Structure 1
Amino acid sequence: MRKLIVGVVALLAIALVADFGTAAYSEYRVSRALRDGGELTADPEVTIHGFPFLTQAARGDYSRVEIRAQDVPTEYVNKTTIEATLRGVRIPASDLVDGSVRTVPVDRLDGRVRIEATDLGQFLDIPDLQVSAPPADKSDGTGGSGGSGKTTTGAVVLSGTVSVGPLNTAVSVTAELQLDGDKVNIVASDFYFGPEGEADFTIPDILKPTVLGLFTKTIDRQQLPFGITPTSVYAEGGEIVIEGTGTGITIDLESIRTP
């Protein structure tokens, strides 16, 4: 009986190693196809979810695949992170093995572009820029500043050091993130003196439009992975996130990002 148990455990261990090894190889093949096709500077992270992997591979049907590529340059922002969550993915096992996979039917694709505060600051020419979501609105029943309710989608607090007259001064502003097709408009509307801000003084009214203009700019042509159209933009964890969703589509691994 002991030998039988040991034998079963050994077989299970071999099966697990084979399953994880095959999954890792398949993730590598997809990653290389994405890098070569998208002219990326490094292999993107690819994770094929679901266990056992070999069962999914035999069917050629995968429940969820995550893709993440960092330090992807654009014409307007030096570095971005692009992410894609693919659900209901169909790839024949033979295409994964020989590396010939190019077009992939998916039931649903959630795509995101993340812009960190440092890179957004370079775009705005505010090197020490910080990004945070504003406190909950008073109308949500949480009492406004310091509350735990939902924030307004697209609202953001931007803080950084800018020139105010002859001085370099820390300023915080409230801004709206607005989608206009594939463009993102950053529109500063007022100064901010709440807990997420850094400014502790009143800017002279005569300088207000000029200072707000330093935080106002348009990021052109923010295309999501595989050409998905952006549908929302918001602040999350000190980043600007632009995202969109596509359903019932076929993606081309050579066009994770389009020029």
Structure 2
Amino acid sequence: MRRLVIALVVLAGLLVVADFGAAAIFEHEVSKRARSHFGLADDPDVRVGGFSFLAQAISGEYDKVAVDAKGVPVRNTLRDVEVHADLMGVHAPLSDLLSGSLKSVTLREVKGQVLVKASDVNRAISEQENELVKTITRLTIDPVSEQVAITEPPEGAEPPDPADEPEDTTAGVRMCVTADITDQSTDFCVFGIISLADGKISFEPKRLDIRNGLISGSLAPTLQEKVLALFAITLDPGVLPFSVTPTAVKVDPGVLSVSGKASNVVLSGGNG
């Protein structure tokens, strides 16, 4: 009985090692193809979901594979874009995988997302010329409901939760910064709506909430218009991964994102 237990433990250990080893080979193959697809300098991170990789490998189909690429530069302004993709129904025959002859990977469905960080949004705003506002710093991004983005809630009222709103081509956002206005360091927040058009993120500022030692609440209308105009930007995060069609924008703390889905995608390449 003791020998049997030892043998079973050793066998289980070998299966675990084989499972991890086979998963590593598969992840490397997918990573090479994703690197070629994105035109990256380094292989992106790839993780296979599911309890047992070997069980999926024998069938040649994998339930879910996550791909993450960070620090992707897009033109001059956006230098730290993140790309995330969930690949469902990934088909890659085990025999081709082990022999190294795997030429393509087919994907039943892909959910792709491109994320633009606050630092890149800060850079895009700072690049605009504005005679009133100088040196935008410490920009933060937070989701708000579209209602709150347009109209300040009554005092004491509970604002709507942005999480209750479905993902769509528009979303409410609050951007708060520190900036020099008329040579005075000023903290203020701009509320507005981001929208999706031709794969790009456009921000339409709606209202301003400003606080510093001399000003509280709002600026004169003409000055407020100049401040809001600085935030009327359009960001182009590039195409979504794996031929995904962009269908929605979203705001999370610190990031703006574009997402979408695609079906029946073929991922080839990866030599190099």
TM bin, normalised by shorter chain, reads 0.7 to 0.9
1:237 aligns with 2:253: yes
1:169 aligned to which of 173, 177, 186: 186
- Which whole-Å CA distance do the structure 2 matches of 1:147 and 1:231 have between them? 22
Distance change (3 Å), C-alpha of 1:41 and 1:189: same
- Which whole-Å CA distance do the structure 2 matches of 1:102 and 1:113 have between them? 27
1:182 aligns with 2:183: no
Unpaired stretches in structure 1, ≥5 consecutive residues: none
Equivalence for 1:129: 139
| Conserved 8 A contact 1:19-1:52 | yes
Deviation at 1:67, TM superposition (A): 0.3
Equivalence for 1:10: 10
SS at match of 1:129: strand
1:81 aligns with 2:97: no
- Which whole-Å CA distance do the structure 2 matches of 1:84 and 1:149 have between them? 22
Equivalence for 1:22: 22
| Conserved 8 A contact 1:135-1:144 | no
Equivalence for 1:55: 55
Distance change (3 Å), C-alpha of 1:253 and 1:128: farther
Number of equivalenced pairs = 248
Equivalence for 1:206: 222
Query: Which stretches of structure 1, 4 residues or longer, exceed 6 Å deviation after superposition?
Result: none
- Which whole-Å CA distance do the structure 2 matches of 1:148 and 1:134 have between them? 5
- Which whole-Å CA distance do the structure 1 matches of 2:85 and 2:122 have between them? 25
| Conserved 8 A contact 1:62-1:88 | yes
Distance change (3 Å), C-alpha of 1:36 and 1:181: closer
Q: Residue by residue, what CA displacement relative to the aligned partner does 1:17-67 show, whole Å, maximum 9, x if unpaired? A: 111111012112221232244321322110111232112112211110100
SS at match of 1:73: strand
SS at match of 2:78: coil
Amino acid across the alignment from 2:14: I
* Higher alpha-carbon deviation: 142-151 or 92-101: 142-151
TM-score (norm 2): 0.81
- The two structures, once aligned, show a CA RMSD in angstroms of 2.8
Equivalence for 2:236: 220
SS at match of 1:57: helix
Unpaired stretches in structure 2, ≥5 consecutive residues: 127-135
- Which whole-Å CA distance do the structure 1 matches of 2:179 and 2:23 have between them? 50
Deviation at 1:149, TM superposition (A): 6.2
| Conserved 8 A contact 1:89-1:106 | yes
1:252 aligns with 2:267: yes
Q: Residue by residue, what CA displacement relative to the aligned partner does 1:192-232 show, whole Å, maximum 9, x if unpaired? A: 479xxxx9532221211110011110113631112212111
- Which whole-Å CA distance do the structure 2 matches of 1:189 and 1:246 have between them? 33
| Conserved 8 A contact 1:136-1:144 | no
SS at match of 1:231: strand
